[in-house]
Amino acid sequence: MNLFDEPKIDAHCHLLDPARFPYAPDVAYRPSGQEIATPEQYLQVMDAYGIRHALLVGPNSGYGLDNRCMLDALARYPERFRGVAVVRNEAPREELLGLKQSGVVGVALNATVLGVDHCLQAGPLLRHLADLDLFLSMQVEHDQLVALGPLLQNSGVRVVFDHCGRPHPDAGIDQPGFQALLSFARTGRAAVKLSGYQKFSQQPAPHADTRRFVRALLDTFTPDACMWASDWPFLKSPVHLDVGPLLRQVERMVPDAEERRRLWWETPRRWLGLPHVEDASPAA
């Protein structure tokens, strides 16, 4: 089977459609140009590369706490998309339940934007997520997870860590934040997205300085708790990126087709709550 025909689920991408859903007036960054990303545009990308489903993550850029663009796509394409919403730490259970009924499977918490202190105040939110069986999509960088680890460990919530935990490439595998991330593999309720290399690499694509971290995550979490993600449309990337080369990079890192199937089909299928039995053969 051609690599691009292998069935896939993209575990992290964004929609930005300011023509239909204007940006919030107080956001720090307003995506534009090639960062504009409608569901119709991404459906074409998905069909070109064998991506059957995708997890739409509400972006802090552009929309802040406004989930309307993502929720609109979930309503119009429920068979293709699931969502991760951005909410207040004080979001009540009823709000979260309503999001879940709309196709949302998790809530995002971004320490790289909001800071560690903000995230440390999210205890009540995490308890609601655990109660509703929604997962936390957690983005950290460098050693932020050292401070946040106890809160996440004690909350009982399922956690998906974005973008390999965004380690500092020069600090190596033994840096405290990355070791804290690896320790979550033992909990049985954590997974990690192999994605966003441009967010922490200090080298141009294909970001060779990230490979040892990806290898360590695959070895520790195994493909049963790792997911591939594109990070499309590559917000704030200093250079143009595309999905095809990212898939070839996975092929080099994971040459075994069965392991790739676990990485970009079986594991995200479970976390996104997609049906257990589904035709995963190449699209006609």
Concatenated DSSP letters of the chain: --GGGS-EEEEEE--B-TTTSPPPTT-S----GGG-B-HHHHHHHHHHHTEEEEEEEPPHHHHTT--HHHHHHHHH-TTTEEEEEE--TT--HHHHHHHHHTTEEEEEEEHHHH-HHHHHT-HHHHHHHHHHTPEEEEE--TTHHHHHHHHHHHH---EEESGGG---GGG-TTSHHHHHHHHGGGGSSEEEEE--GGGT-SS-TT-GGGHHHHHHHHHHH-GGGEEE---TT-TT-SS---HHHHHHHHHHH---HHHHHIIIIIHHHHHHT--SS---SPP-
Q: What is the pLDDT of residues 176-221, one digit of tens each?
A: 999 999 999 999 999 999 999 999 999 999 999 999 999 999 999 9
Q: What is the pLDDT of residues 30-86, one digit of tens each?
A: 999 999 999 999 999 999 999 999 999 999 999 999 999 999 999 999 999 999 999
Check: CATH 3.20.20.140 for 3-272?
A: yes
Question: What average pLDDT does the segment 2-19 reach?
Answer: 97
Q: What is the pLDDT of residues 232-280, one digit of tens each?
A: 999 999 899 999 999 999 999 999 999 999 999 999 999 999 986 555 5
pTM for the whole structure: 0.95
Q: What is the pLDDT of residues 110-160, one digit of tens each?
A: 999 999 999 999 999 999 999 999 999 999 999 999 999 999 999 999 999
Sequence spans of domains, the chain: 3-272
The answer on pLDDT for 284 being more than 80 is no
Q: How confident is the model at residue 1 (pLDDT cuts 50, 70, 90)?
A: confident
